[in-house]
Amino acid sequence: MKSITVTLKRVFNKGHLCFELPNNLVDKEGIKQILSYCRDKKNDYISVTLTPPRRPRSTGDRSQNHHLNGHIMQICAETGNDYETVKAAVKMIACESFGYPYTEFHGVIVPQGESKASTEECAYLIEASHLLAADLGIILKEE
């Protein structure tokens, strides 16, 4: 049985641990499937891990996302490679050097998309772009 990770809002109900259901239909269906499975096969017991929600990376002008994409564009300009190729290289360096999240598909590492990155994970990508530029002898402009 698969697992699901969702961010839920806690609702006060004295003596009970309660959460609002997410608005996302995919998340709702995933929760429903797991709860149904646990009801039928696990005597209605479930395993719960509580963690603080992850802060998403910042976007817009002067954001982490802007910083990362600016570095990728500078590396593209210096090397002649396309954006997707450089971005893939940066993500692989981040996986290898900083533990950036990834999944495996038939033994191939598939780095997490940066749209799902937390602020900490986006910092790993920025640092990985610095490492790649240094390896290539490129001096990045911090804009």
Domain ranges of the chain: 1-51, 64-135
Mean pLDDT in order along the chain per 10 residues (143 residues): 84 94 90 94 92 79 91 97 97 96 93 89 96 97 82
- For residue 4, the model assigns a pLDDT of 83
pLDDT for res 56: 75
The structure tokens 């891990």 sit at 49
Q: What is the pLDDT of residue 142?
A: 84
49, amino acid identity: T
Phi, psi of 55 (to 5 degrees): -80, 125
3-state SS of the chain is: CCCCCCCCCEEEECCEEEECCCCCHHHHHHHHHHHHHHHHHCCCCCCCCCCCCCCECCCCCCCHHHHHHHHHHHHHHHHCCCHHHHHHHHHHHHHHHHCCCEEEECCEEEECCHHHCEHHHHHHHHHHHHHHHHHCCCCCCCC
User: What's residue 1's pLDDT?
Assistant: 66
Structure tokens at 13: 């109900």
Give the model's pLDDT for residue 29. Answer: 92
Distance CA 118, CA 94 (A): 13
